[in-house]
Amino acid sequence: MTWTVTRVLRDRDAGLYLAAVVVSGFGSSAMWLVSGIWVKDLTGSNGLAALCVFALWAPTLVGPLLGTLADRTRRRPLLIGTNLALAVLLPALLAVDAPDRLWILFAVLLVYGAAGAVHDAAESALVAAVVDRNLLGDFNGLRMTANEGMKLLAPPAGAALYTAYGGARVALLDAVTFALAAGVCALLRVRESPPAPDPATWRARTVVGARYVLGHPELRPLVLAGGTTMFFAGLNGAVIYAVVEGLRHSPAYAGLLYAVQGLGSVLIGLVSGPLLRRWGERRFAAYGIALTAVGVGARAVTSDAVALVCSAAIGAGLPCVLIAAYTAVQRRTPGPLLGRTAATANTLMFAPNALGLAVGAGVVDLVDHRLLLPVLALALLLALRPLLTRR
């Protein structure tokens, strides 16, 4: 574990990237939680509060188009500019003090999500260019660890700040973290040439990334397995409160289950680099999916101890296919296509998660979770099919 961290941190640029992820990730995790609480307090509406998550995820649906921007400009200035733009935009939320001004919050969240899609595409492309090829698996694992670690630390801090001072102060905190992340990105030692002129239309450029992902014999099975896994993960996520109810706890107990799941993700991120080198991307992803399926199915057992172990198993298993897919995209995609390809892969893997959440919300009240979870576990194994197909 220490060896993995050391390998990455010895690379100056990789260490700076991770520092930027930690800094901006803290503010983002706090803001994502607080936005829903803010809307709920102003309106009393659960539906409007849920729209905050939708507003943040909606731009992912046009991720391939947004990713094209990352291939038409130099990536480091784009990362700096995106962070600074959000730092300037977020103080607009100081004006949100009544229900009739919530449109400002939703508009900011939409821009937030779109900027995030561009940022992730540019970051993935730039990381592949400056981080040693053999370190990509380690870097992506540690990036997952950093993100999940911030999800454990930032929400309680954000909730406490919101309770004491209100949502506007959380927005200012997030703005400061983006400004700091821009400063860290400015320290990167990257030499980039301007992209070559491309006479093709934006539509044609966007389609190229999708064709590359779906036509590549190594990327297609990993990305499709990731999308299938995330769909069933969404269904499983919708069942969490039914599991808590079955355990005879209050809804707040779900927070403990999510924290344990996050801890599992933190731990797998620390060892993903060595495991990827040992097993390869397909086997690493397949073992992770299998572990996730076991965790989902065993949640049907009404036991606190089993529920906690299952949460840790899901947290450790679920990121494996994502880390494997991201690493494969970075290793096997030509630099000029990497922004579009990474954005396309991101959309194909995460859009199904939103669909799974929606379907699960409709099913959970109709089917007993003790019957539904084993079925989900068996269905989740379908995600293994693309990985088991002969190359």
Last residue of one domain, picked from the residues 187, 222, 250:
187
Domain co-membership, 67 together with 174: yes
pLDDT digits (tens, 9 = 90+) for 319-363: 999 999 999 998 888 878 888 888 888 889 988 887 787 777 677
Domain co-membership, 387 together with 274: yes
Count CA within 13 A, CB hemisphere, residue 377: 21
Domain co-membership, 221 together with 355: yes
- Has residue 198 been placed in a domain? no
Interacting residues of 337 by C-beta distance below 8 A, sequence separation 6+: 71, 208, 209, 212
Domain co-membership, 38 together with 154: yes
- Has residue 41 been placed in a domain? yes
Domain co-membership, 48 together with 137: yes
Give the type of residue at 296: V
Domain co-membership, 273 together with 352: yes
Give start and end residues of each alpha helix (H) in the chain: 2-9, 12-43, 46-57, 63-71, 75-89, 102-130, 136-165, 167-186, 202-215, 219-238, 240-246, 253-298, 304-332, 338-363, 369-380, 385-388
Domain co-membership, 177 together with 227: no
Domain containing residue 72: CATH number? 1.20.1250.20
- Has residue 194 been placed in a domain? no
Domain co-membership, 125 together with 212: no
Domain co-membership, 142 together with 239: no
- Has residue 37 been placed in a domain? yes
DSSP annotation of 195: P
Q: Is the pTM of this model over 0.85?
A: no
Domain co-membership, 376 together with 271: yes
Q: Which two tokens stand for residue 35?
A: 């936005």
Count CA within 13 A, CB hemisphere, residue 169: 10
- Has residue 2 been placed in a domain? no
- Has residue 110 been placed in a domain? yes
Give the type of residue at 3: W
- Has residue 193 been placed in a domain? no
**Domain extent at residue 80:** 7-187
| Structural domains of the chain, count | 2
Q: What is the C-alpha end-to-end distance of the chain, expressed in Å?
A: 32
Note down pLDDT in tens along the chain; length 391 residues: 556 667 777 778 788 888 888 888 888 888 877 888 888 888 887 667 767 777 887 788 888 888 888 777 888 899 999 999 999 999 999 999 888 898 999 999 999 988 988 888 888 888 877 777 777 888 888 888 888 888 778 778 887 888 888 888 999 999 999 999 999 988 888 776 766 666 666 677 778 888 888 888 889 999 999 999 988 888 887 787 788 888 888 766 776 788 888 899 889 988 888 898 889 999 999 999 999 999 999 998 989 999 999 999 999 999 999 999 999 998 888 878 888 888 888 889 988 887 787 777 677 777 788 888 898 899 888 778 778 765 5
Domain co-membership, 177 together with 216: no
Domain co-membership, 182 together with 214: no
CA distance 155 to 297: 28
pLDDT digits (tens, 9 = 90+) for 195-238: 666 666 667 777 888 888 888 888 999 999 999 998 888 888 77
CA distance 66 to 72: 11
